[in-house]
Amino acid sequence: MASPIESAWQYLTSNFSEFQLATVVTFLLHESVFFLSGLPSLYFERFGLFSKYKIQKKSNTPSYQDRCVWRLIKYHVCVNLPLMTASYPAFKFMGLRSSLPLPPWSEVVSQVLFYFILEDFVFYWGHRALHTKWLYKHVHSVHHEYATPFGLTSEYAHPAEILFLGFATIVGPALTGPHLFTLWLWMALRVLETVECHSGYHFPWSPSNFLPLYGGSDFHDYHHRVLYTKSGNYSSTFTYMDWIFGTDKGYRKMKALEEVGEMDAKNL
Ligand SMILES: [Zn+2]
Ligand SMILES: [Zn+2]
């Protein structure tokens, strides 16, 4: 008997062509996951909710938040959608498939894990390059306009950077020739992860409290609030690349000082 996921997949593949699924439906899925996961932290900041867990004392004004949202919609429609449409033949060439049966979970999970590790590696070096003087000034400074990030700022970047990030995201799927289901799951998880990293809030239930090697909001928030030549913390998902290459020294020092401060406060 078909599982609910297989039935839903059957419905999709019999009502839409693979081209429609890989382009327009992928775009709509991305928009839904991105805005639904990103809007809560925007409203938390706007209405001062959960301020106890807000990482920075500073807040963005509502008009500065709205500016980000409108530019994102413009970039998504004018850059992301054409890019998804134009890259369909390339994906097809790489072995993209959408027919039933769905791949086994062992394949889906191992591929998605591989994509996260590879993306983090490519992102780390690309992001380090973006922090050199010329590239920072002309490209990456756009992403850093928001020194106090909120979830939706995760995708706020220069179009050239969107292309670069797009490459880091698809290099894993390109190497393995995935099923569209795996590709969608990867995209959704990557969006949720980057939105969480930019949320500006560190909750007791934040995933970095439970997942070893996962950076999360506290790790990436530091990257946004410190001067671009000194910030470090270049990885997108994990913490080990910055640890191996010594680009998390400033962050580790700050954490150590925070711990000493907390201990002193307890001993008073
Ligand atoms: Zn940066
Ligand atoms: Zn960022």
**Tens of pLDDT, residues 110-146:** 999 999 999 999 999 999 999 999 999 999 999 999 9
Distance of CA 116 from the midpoint of ligand 2 (Å): 17
Of all residues in the chain, what percent carry a pLDDT higher than 90? 84
**Predicted pLDDT at 263:** 73
pLDDT at 86 over 70: yes
Q: Which residues pair with 97 in a beta bridge?
A: 179
Distance of CA 109 from the midpoint of ligand 1 (Å): 29
Torsion of CA 29, 34, 37, 38, to 10 degrees: -160
Distance of CA 155 from the midpoint of ligand 1 (Å): 12
Long-range own/partner contacts, residues 157-163 (CB < 8 A, 24 or more apart): 159/75, 159/79, 161/130, 162/75, 162/79, 162/80, 162/83, 163/79, 163/83
**Predicted pLDDT at 166:** 81
* pTM of the shown model: 0.94
pLDDT at 96 over 80: yes
Dist CA 119 CA 126 (whole Å): 10
**Any idea what the Cα angle at residue 213 is, between residues 239 and 43, rounded to 5°?**
80
**Predicted pLDDT at 85:** 93
Cβ partners under 8 Å of residue 224, min gap 6: 144, 146, 147, 148, 149, 198, 231
Q: What does the mean pLDDT of the chain come to?
A: 94
Q: Which ligand is nearest to the CA of 127?
A: 1
Distance of CA 53 from the midpoint of ligand 2 (Å): 19
Distance of CA 17 from the midpoint of ligand 1 (Å): 38
Contact 200, 218 (CB under 8 A): no
If pLDDT is split at 50, 70 and 90, which confidence band does 268 have?
Answer: low
**Predicted pLDDT at 90:** 87
Tens digit of each residue's pLDDT (9 = 90 or more) over 159-212: 999 988 788 998 999 899 889 999 999 999 999 999 999 999 999 999 999 999
Q: Would you kindly state where each structural domain of the chain is located, as residue ranges?
A: 4-267
Distance of CA 179 from the midpoint of ligand 1 (Å): 32
Give the sign of the dihedral formed by CA 94, CA 80, CA 149, CA 48: negative
CA 30 to centroid of chain Cα atoms: 12
**Among 208, 266, 262, 255, which residue's Cα sits nearest to residue 232?**
255
Q: Which ligand is nearest to the CA of 234?
A: 1
Q: Give the SS3 label for residue 179.
A: strand
